């Protein structure tokens, strides 16, 4: 009988030790984690974090290359959620932005198409040489269309 008890105890101990080791040492699957981080980001694709979009930033955060407080549109709430998910300390937001939408001054627009090419979410409609306009409900307020405009006719209108 003692052989059986000792065998089972030894097996249990072995399993326990190896599981502890695995959970401490082996990194969690980063692919899933990147998706989870990406889900918490506001998907404005504004590149204000210094990365070309939300997913690249998420990958950098998981890598440890980027801090968790670089997403201005997400605000402090996103920092908090990221800190909860990743177990990193909460940092104050690096830069504040007010939520806004782009608005095109239609009297000055020359139909150059540059802003449409810059918009990451295709929220600008219009054709070459014709007036462009912003689909307000789809605009994420990323400001990426402001700089390319050669006649400076795009401005950001704060949302209440």
Partner 1 sequence: MSAPTFDLGKLHGGLRLPAHKSHSAAEPVLEVPIPSQLYLPITQHVGEPAQPVIEIGERVLRGQLLAEPDGEMGAPVHASSSGTVVAIEQWPVSGRYGDTAPCIVIDCDGRDEGIAATSGIDFRSLDPADVLLKILDGGIVGLGGAVFPTAQKLMQARTCETEYLILNGVECEPYISCDDSLMRECAAEILGGAQILMHALRIDICFVAVESDKPEALQSLADALEKLDDERIVLKQVPTIYPSGGEDQLVQLVANRQVPSGGLPTDVGCLVQNVGTAAAVHNWIINNEPLISRITTVTGDGVNNPMNVRARIGTTVGDVVQFTGGYADRAEHLFIGGPLTGKSVSTDRVPLVKATNCVLAVFKSSFAGRELPCIRCGDCAAVCPVQLQPQQLFWFTCADDETKLREFGLLDCIECGCCDLVCPSHIPLTADFRTAKGRIRELADEKARAERARQRFEARNQRLEKEQHDRDAELARQKESARQAGPADIAEILRRKKQQSEDD
Please report how close the Cβ of residue 148 comes to partner 1 at its closest, in angstroms: 16
CA dihedral over 29, 30, 32, 36, signed as positive or negative? positive
Nearer to partner 1, 67 or 121 (CB): 121
Task: Specify whether the CB–CB gap between 102 and 146 falls below 8 A.
Answer: yes
Compute CA distances 110 → 25, 34, 58, 116, 124, whole Å: 59, 41, 37, 13, 14
What residues line the site for partner 1 (CB under 8 A)?
41-45, 53-54, 120-123, 138, 140
CB of 137 to partner 1, least distance (A): 9
Q: How far is the CB of 138 from partner 1 (least distance, A)?
A: 6
Residue 110 or residue 121: which is nearer to partner 1 going by CB? 121
Instruction: Rank residues 120 and 148 by Cβ distance to partner 1 and give the closer one.
Output: 120
């Amino acid at each position: 009988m003692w052989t059986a008890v000792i065998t089972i105890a030894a097996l249990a101990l072995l399993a326990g030790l190896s599981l502890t080791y695995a959970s401490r040492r082996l990194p969690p699957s980063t692919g899933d984690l990147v998706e989870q981080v990406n889900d918490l980001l506001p998907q404005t694709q504004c590149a204000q974090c210094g990365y070309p979009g939300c997913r690249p930033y998420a990958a950098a955060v998981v890598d440890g290359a980027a801090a968790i407080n670089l997403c201005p549109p997400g605000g402090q709430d996103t920092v908090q959620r990221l800190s909860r998910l990743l177990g990193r300390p909460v940092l104050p937001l690096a830069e504040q932005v007010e939520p806004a939408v782009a608005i095109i001054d239609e009297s000055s627009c020359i139909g150059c198409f540059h802003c449409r090419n810059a918009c990451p979410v295709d929220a600008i409609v219009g054709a070459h040489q014709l007036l462009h306009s912003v689909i307000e409900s789809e605009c994420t307020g990323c400001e990426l269309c402001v700089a390319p405009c050669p006649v400076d006719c795009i401005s950001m209108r704060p949302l209440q």
